[in-house]
Amino acid sequence: MMEQEPRQHVGEALKEGEFSHGDGSGALVALVPDTTSQIDMRVDMAPLHCPEPGCGVLDSPLGLLNHFSTDHFRPIIILRYGVSWNLSLPLSQSWHVVVGQEDQSVFLVTPGKLGAMATAVSLVCVRAEGTAATTVPQFWCKLSVEHPGGDKVVLMASTVSSSTMLGGAPMPTQGMFLVVPQELISGEMLDISVRIDKVHHGQDDAAATTTSC
């Protein structure tokens, strides 16, 4: 069995945003242990594209988060680095938003069909075009899905690649991705454990691995 993961709590609305929470529409879902502090989401970055097909919105990261919540009714999942979190993601949605609590970096989790018997899942960091890797944080992630009985687990660990979302949400099969067999998926929801770690200066990148058991 995988180790127990932290409890999930619904968080407070952010000071600089206009997020609602707890009403099922445009919800802000903050996943933090025990107590939830307000987070300053003011980020000065170049505009980014909305990943939703047919949506031409171009806005700052904070503006996009408000857009995701109010126009596309997507929850904004806030998590702390270095901790594994259990998320339940609707497979009917091709992208899900995760925000790092410590530095407000924006990530997309993208699931997609991989043939008839599996689903591919990837995680990318959303960044403006031309952003130099040496001037922004780098990340490592671990994605895993466990059978309810605990006898089967698939896991992928890799450095996190970047996406400008210029052509929409990245395909889940671009770069490193987790392959989840259909037998590990319950209905239309994907129950997945997500962990993101910030790679500190001078730290060796984690080797990319994909395993199943």
Alpha carbon distances (Å) from 171 to 51, 111, 127? 11, 8, 16
Tens of pLDDT along 12-27? 333 333 333 333 333 3
* 153 within 8 A of 147, measured Cβ to Cβ: yes
Query: Which residues does residue 113 pair with via DSSP β-bridges, in sequence order?
Result: 119
- Parse the chain into domains and list their residue ranges: 80-212
**Lowest mean per-residue pLDDT among 79-88, 99-108, 130-139, 186-195:** 130-139
pLDDT at 140 over 80: yes
The pLDDT of residue 202 = 54
Report the top-level CATH class of 80-212.
mainly beta
Q: With a threshold of 0.85, does the pTM exceed it?
A: no
The pLDDT of residue 212 = 52
Q: How confident is the model over 5-13, as a mean pLDDT?
A: 35
pLDDT at 184 over 80: yes
Q: How confident is the model over 130-142, as a mean pLDDT?
A: 74
**Dihedral Cα 124, 139, 28, 179, nearest 10 deg:** 50
Q: How far apart are CA 158 and CA 209, in angstroms?
A: 6
Give the residue with greater pLDDT, 36 vs 62: 62
